[in-house]
Chain A
């Protein structure tokens, strides 16, 4: 989609039409993986339990098409906040779903809930290789030496900016900020020009503090600063890159460029304000276009851009998440049929269809080369600035977690930055040492002496 081309939000009808088209393509040329062997009389019903609602309509349409092809009916069980409880209840009551989205992969594998997929993958040439590099490595996709769960999404982090607001503030709507200084200056310009209308340059909603991960930890990665350093096998939140990214937020707040009351807003609230045209920029994952388009029905002229770089230049890449692993229950009575469902869902045509309809960046690499007309989607596809990082150590719940510490530093206007980042570094390293000492994880699994934030590539 060109910058000046038609822009519109995707509607439910678009989704269904797109799905139908995608499914048609599947029927004609796709799915060499599919093994259509069920007659209607003997077709089993496969249960699919998930906590993902945003793609429900698309999946339902795809499953309907799949039923036409294979005779296998898929029954979706969607739970939101109570997903983890429902999943546990299902397994403990002997009523486990055939396929489920892994919520706590390691613990669920250790509890015996998940069926290892190695044999199925071995019998399906090409499927495992179709995923993004790094999808299956020890402690992420591979636990106890066995493969568990196929990653549905592989989210990228992006800056979203409102072209209309840029224009009204006298900025070029076709030129989003490319450096941190530009982002600060543009935010200030927007706030100075449009504050009277209740419009600010930048917004975040940190009522739940995890958002500091995407507003500081992720931008800092472009400065080569990953808070867990695989090279040394230690946490280090006090790196210059993290301090600089944190300082940027402190400075923007001091400039009056950030939407007021950030602690009273959730990320959803912030995205709603952005969708309503009350903020010029917001940082978020590739899940955001679906939220802006569908959940908030935004009519604003917004666009997607890559995260701005530090003024000193790029010294690292931004982490690309890879998760939402769906797998077969070890207790399933329909394992073969469940595998057929997974093969269908993870086939390139299906994944491409989901990408093009704006569901997110997909775990299957080739799917992200699809062409989409949905606003904001084309620029979500992974670039050279994105990297699937190695797995981080698994720690217990940290109190305070580093995100809450960052919030405190923000409130302290940066005055406590050195002290607090050093303290949280010590706390994380102590917790890491403890879980290693308890034998829960092996430190050596999280050390990569040759790790370089610019050049490291995940194993294929």
Chain B
């Protein structure tokens, strides 16, 4: 390095003999402690993330039944992918899942923001309301789904009892989870209710980071509620909103449990989702009670998993691109 030191500095530096010069360390050696510290995480990531994804990718090109050795399975090239593209039920699952994710984004997140804004406005009893709003989040999805299965039951379910017996607004009890016209919307409604609390808390945390001074100054300048929200709140919470949207989108596209418990993907495939459809192929169950044996197709199930992964990846990329574009405006 030929950077000239000040003369005084040169004079004060001790002379270093060639034999006592510090040894040049390799980057590996100098950073060894850091490498050692991250090694467990990297190893776990490789074992539990990279390897399974690579394995699923590999098996997606195979005609593999999941029982025999994967090395004995026949390679089928892109046949599974061709089949996936031409599989109408897969596209039904994609449509249902995307619709679910969109509803969660356009209905749940704004609603969560509204609730958070309300609770952040110094409302009396806001802690109690916040706790109530968060309660569903800490309840198991399976339990909630099962409870709503009873709630919406056409025979003695509380909701039908209200509509039919108390209010008299329907002619006969409705199987909200068993009718094609209602099932998807009913399950999605339950999911929005259940997940609202966590997003409400995220938004509330973000809102509480916005300095009050800004609102006071805006008020002095004569800004109204909408001006303050548009010019102060939205820009301030935009970064965390992008994170919430990303998490919600990725989670929604992987939805499984609500539909698995409440409808099983039916009636027909009217409420099946991408993960439920993957489960249909990867969870081979033998001949079943009918005695007609079925050839398991775990290879095709892997192809569905890859398709699912690609769609989530693409959706998150698009969402992040939109976020960056908004930040640049």
A111 and B289 contacting across the interface, CB-CB below 8 Å? no
What residues of chain A lie closer than 8 Å to B89, measured between beta carbons? 399-400
**Chain A window 225-268, contacts with chain B (Cβ cutoff 8 Å), 1 for yes, 0 for no:** 00000000000000000000000000000000001111110100
Chain B nearest Cβ from A246, distance in angstroms: 15
A261 and B290 contacting across the interface, CB-CB below 8 Å? no
Binds B, one of A67-75, A291-299, A388-396: A388-396
Known contacts A198-B155, A262-B178; is-contact A104 B290 (Cβ 8 Å): no
A104 and B173 contacting across the interface, CB-CB below 8 Å? no
CA distance A397 to B183 in the complex (A): 25
CA distance A282 to B100 in the complex (A): 36
> B264 an interface residue at 8 Å Cβ cutoff?
yes
Give which listed residue, A103, A260, A397, contacts B280 with CB less than 8 A. Answer: A397
Known contacts A84-B286, A207-B263; is-contact A261 B67 (Cβ 8 Å): no
Interface residues on B, range: 35 or more
Instruction: Tally A residues with Cβ within 8 Å of B.
Output: 47
Known contacts A207-B264, A394-B294, A411-B180; is-contact A260 B173 (Cβ 8 Å): yes
**Chain A window 76-106, contacts with chain B (Cβ cutoff 8 Å), 1 for yes, 0 for no:** 0000000010001000000000000001111
Chain B nearest Cβ from A254, distance in angstroms: 14
**Chain B window 282-293, contacts with chain A (Cβ cutoff 8 Å), 1 for yes, 0 for no:** 001111111111
Chain A nearest Cβ from B287, distance in angstroms: 7
Give which listed residue, B67, B285, B293, B297, contacts A88 with CB less than 8 A. Answer: B67
Q: Give residues 163-209 of B contacting A (CB, 8 Å).
A: 173, 175, 177-180, 183
Give which listed residue, A111, A208, A404, A435, contacts B69 with CB less than 8 A. Answer: A111
**Chain A window 315-359, contacts with chain B (Cβ cutoff 8 Å), 1 for yes, 0 for no:** 000010111000000000000000000000000000000000000
CA distance A396 to B87 in the complex (A): 14
Give which listed residue, A217, A261, A322, A392, contacts B155 with CB less than 8 A. Answer: A261
What residues of chain B lie closer than 8 Å to A278, measured between beta carbons? 155
CA distance A394 to B296 in the complex (A): 10
> A407 an interface residue at 8 Å Cβ cutoff?
yes
Given contacts A84-B284, A107-B68, A210-B289, 18 further A-B contacts (CB under 8 A): A88-B66, A104-B296, A110-B68, A111-B69, A155-B289, A198-B156, A217-B290, A263-B263, A264-B177, A285-B289, A395-B294, A396-B300, A397-B280, A400-B269, A404-B266, A411-B180, A411-B267, A440-B295
Complex A-B, nearest 6 residue pairs according to Cβ-Cβ distance, in ascending order: A263-B178, A261-B175, A264-B178, A261-B154, A107-B67, A111-B68
Residues of B within 8 A of A (CB): 65-69, 87, 89, 149, 152-156, 173, 175, 177-180, 183, 263-264, 266-269, 280-281, 284-297, 300
Residues of A within 8 A of B (CB): 84, 88, 103-108, 110-111, 113, 155, 198, 206-210, 213-214, 217, 259-264, 266, 278, 285, 319, 321-323, 392, 394-397, 399-400, 404, 407-408, 411, 435, 440
